[in-house]
Amino acid sequence: MRAFIGIRIKADKGLLEIIDKLGKFKELRLVKPEVMHLNLKFLGDIDEEQAGQIKSILDEIAASAETNAFDLRLSNLGVFPDKKFIRVVWLGVESEPLMKLHSHLEEKLAGLGFMKEQGYKPHITLARAKGRPPEEVHDVLNKEYNRDVRVMKIELIKSTLTEQGPLYETIHEVELK
């Protein structure tokens, strides 16, 4: 199964307005608000045995005195790779506890043979470009957006790619204290 570890993000009114404005550009394929998430670690194809090991790691992390519920700051829109050649439109994420959680996950998963990710840049994908968006897209990208989100759980999520977009199914979730 194709899987990742993530944090689900619920779109508020302000974020839905930004998504609506991005939706006016036919060159952008929007991510459905109901599947928005922050990817902590893309795992790729895993088998049932690996899934069980990953569940145990998530349980261990959630039980740790070092891992508590925390806040994310959602802010600033950005693009990959750059503003001249937009492939992905994203919402930035800032949080020191998130970075510590990511580092902790990387260490634990490395013990299972998963490669450590260098230069983790937390973000929430809002849209993917299927063509070159017009210059007017930069008006939306320059909009101010700031919101704090409380993270209460992390999930192991199965991802199934379809023509209508990805389908996500929670395989395991852990509550943070």
Q: Dihedrals φ, ψ of 121, to 5°?
A: -120, 95
pLDDT for 2 equals: 97
Is residue 123 flagged as an active site residue?
Answer: yes
Ramachandran region, residue 112 (left: φ > 0; alpha: ψ -120 to 50; beta: rest): alpha
- Contact between 124 and 91 (Cβ < 8 Å): yes
User: What is the Cα–Cα distance from 165 to 25, expressed in whole angstroms?
Assistant: 18
Q: Dihedrals φ, ψ of 67, to 5°?
A: -110, 110
Closest-CA residue to 93 (of 6, 2, 4, 159): 6
The interaxial angle of helices 48-63 and 96-110, nearest 10 deg, is 140
Q: Could you say which of 102, 104, 123, 172 is catalytic?
A: 123
Count up the domains in the chain and report the number.
1
Is residue 104 flagged as an active site residue?
Answer: no
pLDDT in tens, the chain (177 residues): 999 999 999 999 999 999 999 999 999 999 999 999 999 999 999 999 999 999 999 999 999 878 899 999 999 899 999 988 999 999 999 999 999 999 999 999 999 999 998 899 999 999 999 989 999 999 999 988 899 999 999 999 999 988 888 899 999 999 998
Q: What domain range is 29 assigned to?
A: 2-175
Q: Which helix (H) or strand (E) holds 71?
A: strand 70-82
CATH number of the domain enclosing 154? 3.90.1140.10
pLDDT for 164 equals: 80
